[in-house]
Amino acid sequence: MKDIFALVDCNNFYVSCEKVFNPKLDGKPVVVLSNNDGCVIARSNEAKALGIKMGFPAFKYKDLLKKHSVVVYSTNYPLYADMSQRVMNTLAQFTPNMEIYSIDEAFLSLTGFTSKNLIDYAKSIKGTVKKWTGIPITIGIGPTKTLAKTASKLAKKDPQYDSVLDITNHPNFDNLLDSIDVEDVWGVGRQYKKFLNRHDIYTALQLKNAPLEWIKTNMTVVGFRTVKELRGTSCITLEEIPAAKKGIMCTRSFGKAIESLEELKEAVASFVSRASEKLRDQHSVTSFIQVFIMTNPFKDEHQYVNSASVRLPIPTSYTSELINHCNQKLDIIYKPGYLYKKAGVIFDGIIPEDKIQLHLFRKSDLDRNRKLMKTVDYINTKWGRNTIQCASSGIQKKWKMRQSKLSSRFTTRWNEILVVKVS
């Protein structure tokens, strides 16, 4: 049976989440900023039309934002994550096989759905997601994941498709591919674009027609698969179970520079807490941790960067123990007299928790610690993050990121639920 994939992509996802709870934003230019209100990470169509580019620092647009009364939001991750889950749960009603590809994208397998008119089916998916979650989506359909991605790009570009395009056996297939920049083909990116352009390959069609052997030599097996996929042979399968992460990291810029060791320890402790939560969530332990601190390289002041790492005697995911290790390292690398702007922790050598090699001469509280962490995670899942936390992570968290334009967590906090006033 021939494979059929659909790529579902939420339109301007973060902005769309804000719009669901604030219909007044309809038709207005809206942007969402990254951590610390730094760069533009989502734009409404109206903001795109003003020429606001993705990833650009917001301060560069200060005048433009003001002139056009652009509505600006700080990133509201709890809201976006919850809305994403709602969209994914809705999509799961339409196929037994799907891969959640990112916070706002999913691949659906429609293999064997041939008795249905796929365009109609996709339109009903789109309608249901909009009705149940308020989020607008675009759907691209094709015989391979790469072509499904391409179809969704095309559907976004041209309003005639009404956000749904099936590229399988399309009469203008080659013309459609010719209208796609080679850089926009899934898996090609900016680096290969330069290389391909040097060899007169500018569009997806030209890449599709490139000699396979030459591609394999110059773009490895990944490029080879991409070209085969453009030709309609499915090489990249659906990954229904996300692979456990091999490295976990938690790093942040501070809303306000930190000078004291105590505050630095506090910040790092809360990053360690977050990263070890992720570890436990995927049932793994870490055998290696690295902690780093740095000043602000964009400021004209004394600069200092340093990091230290430790190989753990017994791999663990126990928060307190990991915080202790980091604190010892911070004692060593911290230097007074600097304004620290960023810190982070990186876990490496991650292995499944049931593969721990115990130490012959060390007493281990493995079971007790595991039970404790399980309870902590349970409470925090049920009652919200940091309901219970290590005291060393601090209470006031003065270093917390700047989020001056934050919307409410409408869907995950009772006290922030939307209030409708009827007069």
Enumerate binding residues for Mg ion (CB under 5 A): 9-10, 13, 104
C-alpha 241, offset from chain centre: 17
Output the six-digit token pair for 364: 């281990």
Nearer to Mg ion, 138 or 286 (CB): 138
Spatial distance between the Cα atoms of 133 and 415, rounded to a whole number of angstroms: 20
Minimum CB separation from Mg ion for residue 202, in Å? 25
Nearer to Mg ion, 13 or 94 (CB): 13
* Helices then strands, each counted (H, E), the chain: 13, 12
Q: Tokens 């015989």 label which residue? A: 143
Spatial distance between the Cα atoms of 39 and 35, rounded to a whole number of angstroms: 8
Minimum CB separation from Mg ion for residue 103, in Å? 9
**Which residue is closest to Mg ion by CB?**
104
Q: Are 126 and 163 in contact (CB under 8 A)?
A: yes
Minimum CB separation from Mg ion for residue 88, in Å? 13
Residue 284, beta-bridge partner list: 352
Nearer to Mg ion, 103 or 244 (CB): 103
The CA–CA distances, whole Å, from 272 to 277, 300, 324, 327, 345 equal 8, 30, 10, 11, 6
Q: Closest by alpha carbon to 405, among 73, 79, 162, 174?
A: 73
Spatial distance between the Cα atoms of 353 and 356, rounded to a whole number of angstroms: 6
Nearer to Mg ion, 10 or 25 (CB): 10
Minimum CB separation from Mg ion for residue 149, in Å? 11
Strands 30-33 and 5-10: unpaired
Nearer to Mg ion, 84 or 284 (CB): 84
Nearer to Mg ion, 9 or 166 (CB): 9
Spatial distance between the Cα atoms of 293 and 257, rounded to a whole number of angstroms: 12
Minimum CB separation from Mg ion for residue 136, in Å? 10
Minimum CB separation from Mg ion for residue 11, in Å? 6
Nearer to Mg ion, 47 or 346 (CB): 47
CB-based contacts of 17: which residues, under 8 Å, 6+ apart? 76, 79, 80, 83, 135
Nearer to Mg ion, 13 or 347 (CB): 13
Minimum CB separation from Mg ion for residue 224, in Å? 27
Spatial distance between the Cα atoms of 230 and 311, rounded to a whole number of angstroms: 45
Give the number of other Cβ atoms within 10 Å of residue 66's Cβ.
Answer: 10
Minimum CB separation from Mg ion for residue 13, in Å? 5
Q: Are 268 and 331 in contact (CB under 8 A)?
A: no
Minimum CB separation from Mg ion for residue 205, in Å? 24
Spatial distance between the Cα atoms of 373 and 380, rounded to a whole number of angstroms: 10
Output the six-digit token pair for 188: 């090609």
Q: Closest by alpha carbon to 117, among 172, 166, 155?
A: 166
Nearer to Mg ion, 104 or 277 (CB): 104
What is the Cα gyration radius of the chain?
24
